[in-house]
Chain A
């Protein structure tokens, strides 16, 4: 005994007294003597009875413990004794709490092909953005955590737009219906309550469907299985069945124009990639009618050196990307379009429609362009009248054997007041030979909104209305009255939205990531949708509900029915399984079976090579997309009677009603990620506003953030804060649809109702009613209310003030020269020989990651920001914090204006969108000032941030010239109560991405579903910690791991960051700067490349920018060559 005077290593610890005594049996840390004695103490009892909670131990008990131990170990030295009893007391009093409260839950059967901690990817298709987008879903442990475009899909090409990226948040939205089907307690007026299971719902709906007219309302459909289902239902119900496609933003006026001039009302696909000139009278990018595919093809147009001309009343997203932008008042847009048509027609010897020609002849004063108030376009040959310039460009393009594209779509022009604009666009496209090339109608055009819903309701004899995934009451409030005349309204909806609130029966629908389905994004390109997660709550796809309803109504065809399956109760005991089994138990085929059958019948014959059904199905699911034949139908101009142009007005404040560029039709208003995405043009988040011209603002005394009341005709005045928007035509205001929903969910409602100083998420649909029905350009009167409201603007300053930040150049001017100048003025000691304070150089022996950003193709669409947010677990901070410029986005898109010196009112601004992420400087100013070495340069060229070293001095952020570092002022990711000093209650919902503690119980997760959204590869940062872009270091690590294991160097493009991966126009390219063949190196060496602020500050950024290049060919010379 005396030989072991100090038997214990210092670091040996125990959790409690019990453990201390048991430790002897472990044996390895004690001398045999002590171990033996401790074992005796334990055997005799007493010691192990000490409670593990501090309150459970009286001092007397602890003294007894010490005494017992001292007696038990008589030979122990005093020091050893103190150590034992000291440790026991410490843990008895303070540290008994378990250190790892969490449990590890294994698989029961680990599915083949899975590896814990490795992601699985599924191909699918999502419609959250309003258009079908083929995606690849990344899942960890069965939870989707990231969406990316499907690289095999010819339209998405591996890219996704902002709304598709944000669709992930919709899946985990806690405001979705969770309790299964609902019914109203007392007819149409009562409260909703659970109906008691799907079979009860099916029975009730089936009974209602047995008699009377049935009106099924769906969104516009294109999927082969969807269309087959509608056809089957039509056959099953016979004449009493009407199907109507409904959309908030119908393209009715466009279809009417095509019908009038071409005799074909089918809607075309616009392909910017096949055009050399895009003439946009409507917003081609953010207008509400175009989606990801158009953005991707816009990138093609830009890269090929195509020209974009925008003719528009307010600054739109395509206007910010235009090479030439011409302002025109909304009531004169059609005149301008026909003015261009006249000039084009003269050259091509095509006569205008008679009535139009007469109108133009009557209106013409000195010059049509001057009468319309159009500016002259500056070119190398001097100023050219706008209409002449545009016509020359179109003719020159045609003569060069290329195509152009005239686009007049978008929500702002989708009303009958603008029908002449659409007519002119159709006429021009036909005359210039664009029909069938850049304007394409396929033999199988998708099912679109044709007004059938309005007509069926107007008839007033509908028995049952089934609203399947549509919300007409929000976007057409006038329809509510007509809807209520129906005997039964069944809403298939994922939440109790404005329309579902009217319903008597509600069947919760599953999210796209929980459902099967298909889509034909464009004729001939069919993609499958497959679930990537079990339904989180008791819901089913709306198509599955329709199948069950038809069976319950007793009209279903044979193929809707299958043998009833008796479910194993053990299987049903697992949460989420019941609803999967529900159809089989009821004897209805599942929607999955229906999709599969349809595909085997309709799609498989197109893929002759694969004979086996199973092989076909699995490969189709795996790839996600199949291309089948779809013939293009070319349309020719017909001699049609067209009414004369209506004269333009002379006074009044004209209203342009656009779709929100972020929210679209408002379906995603409950999405906090999208709420915090700044508008691409105004950079305002969380609220809507009225955009006014700087000229009007000066004349009327309106300033930014003034609240004005807008009165249009007889509708009650609507109050909105003023945003003075550069580039807006004087006498025009712009307002946005898609905001102010009352029943979208907590984020939307709280953002609307409960901000401390009021808020302006305002619904403007009452202003326009059903969009196409607006027959004249709306005019409004604006009165100042005297109130002020601070809009949450993400960008403090819109002008570069002569500094070289976001650079642009005119095409043809020497980019090489400009680049050389920039580099020569550098202060890095290389070129100018100046002294540098930086003495160390970095070595990059392996990889050196870098990025290039092409300002020429960036459209400011924000997809990169949402992708970054999803990938890097970036929290939402809320309106108040954005006002303080405390947003957490790791990257941003700055939008800078520039204007000629004589354009004092900033009406003809030119815009550059500049995506700005951490520049990963070699001479990083942030790294030099960190007192904790929390930010440092790694040997792959990334300035990394070590969160647990960071002590929050914020020196780095203050020293960063690019302002890309973000500080957690509050624990944005975790807190529920809102920050101190802020009474923004929606923060409680929007921000609690993280639950209090990790849990794997399904039941708990359904209460805090947002926790499932987190990317497990990325740390959730806490309060007081600086964070910033690290080039998705988890991705470079992961693929580098593959490199280590395989011994092969990874290929260029194998690693990419979330932002570069999703960029629809491929403005961002990521790669290895040490590989001279990599794309990023090639791009960085082209003319027009520059490093941001490097010349001034010698920061040596790793990110290279390419200048915005404005295509302004000398028109006269070109057109002379063309037709002279």
Chain B
């Protein structure tokens, strides 16, 4: 019986009948492995070495410089962007750093700016007088992501980038996969605005007349609690002239006074010129003094703004020095 029937049954079926259990197990293992590898190859944790060992921990953590002071582009457009060299030089041409390790890095930075070119560890020559930074975060080409929209909707930088203020070297915090995007969008209903019900089109707020994304800010960001962002109307924090790593500026004592004056004059200027409302505060502060009025910047700051080049290299927000 067995001879005849085994001859009649096709060989693949015989194999299947005999090895179905190991086969099934193998299938499970393969699927599991595939899943593991898929996740393993996410870029989470990717933290490339940079030519300059820039520390977010120091700048954003210790010195509490607002993210958007350097990455000002995140407020204005799609990309947060790497800050222009002038932002680095605006401070580092003027402040003195005591830590020798930091000094070496800053010397490297200044050398790049002065020489206009540098050779990296791999022997590649980079030109343009700027540091060529290794890219950490990267979305695929087909993804449209806009920093400005998310920032305006009240999403904290840390929601996606993690505790950058604690990172010595920046690493990728989130998977940046589509499921990760959707998770947040579904949970917080960012798609259609607050209160949107997909089944009831009338609840769609985005794009409807009178809708402003700022409304979303009324609800606190649900993912990460972020240190309060400094806004223009916020009271100026106390001045710490003895702050580590910083040289006390000459007119530090009346700085608070200056800041109040600037704020008042800025308000007056904006009343006269509402079209300037989107100009950054530093830009307003550098405008010439109104007739008969006091100059908006103390004389000691003038050298920053003597020429156009200086102007671009000057600190771009008062709070950089006057914290």
> CB within 8 Å of B: which residues of A?
10-15, 19, 23, 25-26, 28-29, 87, 90, 95, 98-100, 102-110, 112, 115-118, 570, 573-575, 843, 845-847, 946-948, 1000-1002, 1019-1020, 1034, 1037, 1040-1041, 1043-1049
Contacts and interface: CB of A to CB of B under 8 A. Distances in A.
Contacts of A1037: 144
Contact of A90 (B40, B168, B211): B40
The 5 lowest CB-CB distance pairs between A and B, nearest first, are A1047-B212, A845-B201, A117-B78, A115-B77, A107-B84
Contacts of A99: 43, 46, 138
B133 interface: yes
Nearest to A106: B82
Nearest to B120: A103
7 contacts: A10-B36, A95-B41, A108-B128, A115-B73, A574-B127, A843-B201, A1045-B149
A762 B251 CA distance: 78
Given A11-B40, A109-B85, A115-B73, 8 more contacts: A25-B168, A104-B135, A109-B84, A117-B79, A846-B206, A847-B207, A946-B142, A1040-B207
Interface string B24-44: 000000000000100111111
B47 interface: yes
B309 interface: yes
A135 to B, nearest CB: 24
B48 A106 contact: no
For B45, B117, B136, the residue with the greatest tally of chain A CB atoms inside 10 Å of its CB is B45
B133 A106 contact: yes
B211 A1047 contact: yes
B201 A108 contact: no
Nearest to B162: A28
Contacts of A1049: 207-209
B132 A104 contact: yes
A528 B45 CA distance: 52
Contacts of B220: none
A751 B263 CA distance: 67
B206 A1044 contact: yes
Interface string B99-138: 0000000000000010011000000001111111111101
The prevalent SS among residues of A at the interface is loop
A997 to B, nearest CB: 12
Nearest to A1016: B141
Interface in B32-78: 36, 39-48, 73, 76-78
A104 B45 CA distance: 19
A575 B128 CA distance: 9
Contacts, number: 158
B265 interface: no
A1046 B167 CA distance: 35
B46 A1043 contact: no
B22 to A, nearest CB: 22
Contact of B140 (A26, A948, A1043): A948
Contact-size category for B: 35 or more
Nearest to B51: A103
A107 B85 contact: yes
Contact of A109 (B43, B86, B133, B149): B86
A118 B132 CA distance: 21
Given A108-B84, A109-B86, A1019-B142, A1047 B204 contact: no
B81 A116 contact: yes
Contacts of B138: 99-100, 102
A118 B36 contact: no
A1021 B146 CA distance: 21
Contacts of A14: 45
Contacts of B133: 103-106
B175 interface: yes
Given A13-B45, A116-B77, A1019-B141, A105 B134 contact: no
Question: Looking at B116, B171, B207, which has the most chain A CB atoms within 10 Å of its CB?
Answer: B207
Contact of B132 (A103, A109, A947): A103
Contacts of A1046: 212
Nearest to A1019: B142
Interface of B: 36, 39-48, 73, 76-79, 81-86, 113, 116-117, 126-136, 138, 140-142, 144, 146, 148-149, 152, 163, 167-168, 171, 175, 201-202, 204, 206-214, 309, 312-313
A1046 B209 CA distance: 10
B213 A1045 contact: yes
A1045 B148 contact: yes
Given A103-B135, A104-B135, A118-B76, A11 B42 contact: yes
A117 B71 CA distance: 13
Contacts of B82: 104-106
A103 B122 CA distance: 14
B135 A1041 contact: no
Contacts of A107: 84-86, 130
A846 B44 contact: no
Given A100-B46, A100-B48, A11 B128 contact: no
A1048 B207 CA distance: 8
Contact of A105 (B48, B130, B175, B211): B130
Given A106-B83, A117-B77, A573-B127, A845 B204 contact: yes
Contacts of A847: 207
Contact of A103 (B81, B134, B163, B204): B134
Nearest to B43: A99
A574 B135 CA distance: 23
Contacts of A29: 45
B212 A12 contact: no
Contacts of B134: 100, 103-104
A112 B207 CA distance: 30
A10 B204 CA distance: 39
B208 A846 contact: yes
Nearest to A99: B43
Contacts of B46: 15, 99-100
Contacts of B42: 11, 13
B203 to A, nearest CB: 9
Nearest to B214: A1047
Contacts of A574: 116, 127-128
A120 to B, nearest CB: 12
B296 to A, nearest CB: 18
B47 to A, nearest CB: 7
Nearest to A571: B116
A1047 B210 contact: yes
Nearest to B40: A13
Contacts of B211: 1044, 1047
Given A105-B132, A845-B201, A110 B86 contact: yes
Contacts of B47: 19, 26
B42 to A, nearest CB: 7
B319 to A, nearest CB: 19
Contact of B312 (A10, A19, A109, A845): A109
Given A11-B42, A106-B130, A108-B84, A573 B117 contact: yes
A95 B42 CA distance: 11
A846 B207 contact: yes
B202 A845 contact: yes
